[in-house]
Amino acid sequence: MGNRLRDLSGKFSAATRALRPSEVREILALTENRKVLSLAGGLPGPEVFPKEDLARIASRVLEELGDSALQYSPTLGVMPFREAVADFVRSKGVKVLSDDRVAVTTGSQEAIYLLAMTLINPKDAIIVESPTYLAALNVFRYYGAEFVSVPLDENGMKTELLEDKIKEAKSKGLNVKLVYTVATCHNPTGVIMPDDRRKELLEVASKYDLLVIEDDPYSFFVFDEVPFTPLKTLDSEGRVIYLGTFSKILAPGLRLGYMVADRQITRMVELAKQMVDLHSSTLSQYIALYALKEGVVERTIQKARVFYREKRDIMVETLEKYMPEGSHWFKPRGGLFAFIYLPDGVDTSDMLPMAIERGVAYVPGRSFFSDGSGVNAMRINFSYLPPDKLREGIRLIAETAKDYMKSKGK
């Protein structure tokens, strides 16, 4: 006896070698318990949480429907909630086809995970915007995907490059399988893809028989008048897998996401989810169901849009005032984020400890690219902090950048 296990590294599966810490989660951990203004996360502003409404709803759900709300529930979700989600997305202009089914997930993160688990083989290639949502990159990479990165401009993914990129990938022997896009209020840049590009994207998807994951957490928060149609609505071929979340339109703490997709896909996701977590919180589903029914979700969206637009404007104004010459960014048309390019020579990963020391955090840009570019970029969030702290945070980032450049002799 006494054979104390000191080093467990030999016990882990080979697959763990592909596990990388989530940059955002690790920065959040770094800044926890410190007086750091965090512009790193994607957190909603707590001022928009409908606390009183949810307290009332939770209490009622538990008293009147406790036998169901506290019990196990079906893997794809509680049926009336799945129906309410379908009605909700329809009311937002998202077309639900007769062969589509709704799957409720533990945050939309789980939807991305389950899709990667059920769709990706090593050496499958995924078309992504460059930059794109880092957590999706991490999951796809874990399952052995290669990436076809398509640059974006203020109108999102440059779809005119798609075919050449696909041909190039195929010539390297890759199996181009799907497009992952945050077409509306893109993460991290906040740009919106207009319909002509959306149509081009779907034409290419049809020609090359690709699936399309339309990850859509932010389309409720469009600040400028930009017309767009959900890819899911433009698609008549059942190629688009539509993902949404209650994290931004109600509360992240409920941990509820949803997927609307062809039933063959939802069935496979159901089998995978049976293994992963059986089902998502029944109580959360009933609370969100009543929040939908009673208009709480709609009111939260309206309220958040006003707050976030104001903060977006404050952010842009503050960036213009303080950021060092040679910096640039897209003005976010919606969403929760802006992506800032600092002058060449700045390495935002290298600069991060200085920034945290000074009391502010952001996410270095490199994490949002599949190819290691974005060294001089950073993502900042503008939804979480109150206006004065947001101004202060951006000012501190600008100061840090100027000092960093000075220290490097720029």
In the complex with a copy of itself, the residue whose CB is nearer, 29 or 306, is 29
- Applying the rule CB under 8 A, the residues between 58 and 87 that interact with a copy of itself are 58-60, 62-63, 66-75
Site for a copy of itself in 195-234 (CB under 8 A): 203, 206-207, 209, 211
User: Is position 306 an interface residue for a copy of itself (rule: CB under 8 A)?
Assistant: no
Within 13 Å and on the Cβ side, how many CA atoms surround 206? 12
Tell me how far, at minimum, the Cβ of 333 lies from a copy of itself, in Å: 24
The least CB distance from residue 141 to a copy of itself, in Å, is: 10
The whole-angstrom separation of Cα 209 and Cα 237 is 10
**Count of positions on this chain that bind a copy of itself (CB under 8 A):** 98
CB of 353 to a copy of itself, least distance (A): 21
**CA distance linking residue 222 with residue 43, whole number of Å:** 17
Question: Which range binds a copy of itself by CB under 8 A, 80-88, 147-155, 273-281, 331-339?
Answer: 273-281
Counting Cα atoms < 13 Å in the Cβ hemisphere of 40 gives 26
Selection from 397, 392, 389, 229 nearest residue 329 by Cα: 397
92-131 residues near a copy of itself, rule: CB under 8 A:
105-107, 109-110, 113, 117-121
Binding of a copy of itself by 276 (CB under 8 A): yes
Q: Secondary structure of 306-349 in the HEC alphabet?
A: HHHHHHHHHHHHHHHHHCCCCCEECCCCECCEEEEECCCCCCHH
Q: What residues between 250 and 269 interact with a copy of itself by CB under 8 A?
A: 251-255, 262, 264-265, 268
Give whichever of 256 and 401 is closer to a copy of itself, judged by the CB atom: 256
Please report, as residue ranges, which positions from 2 to 21 form the binding site for a copy of itself (by CB under 8 A): 2-5, 7-9, 11-16, 19-21
Site string for a copy of itself, 22-41 (x = CB under 8 A): x--x--xx--x--------x
Binding flag, residue 91, a copy of itself (CB under 8 A): no
Q: Which SS3 state, helix, strand or coil, does residue 152 take?
A: strand
**Shortest Cβ distance from residue 292 to a copy of itself (Å)?**
16
For a copy of itself, the closer CB: 94 or 251: 251
Considering only residues 30, 43, 301, 316, which one is a binding residue for a copy of itself as defined by CB under 8 A? Answer: 43
H/E run at residue 379: strand 377-381
Report residue 314 as tokens.
């404050």
* Tokens describing residue 133: 């949502």
User: Which residues contact residue 53 at a Cβ distance below 8 angstroms, ignoring those fewer than 6 apart?
Assistant: 291, 294, 296, 299
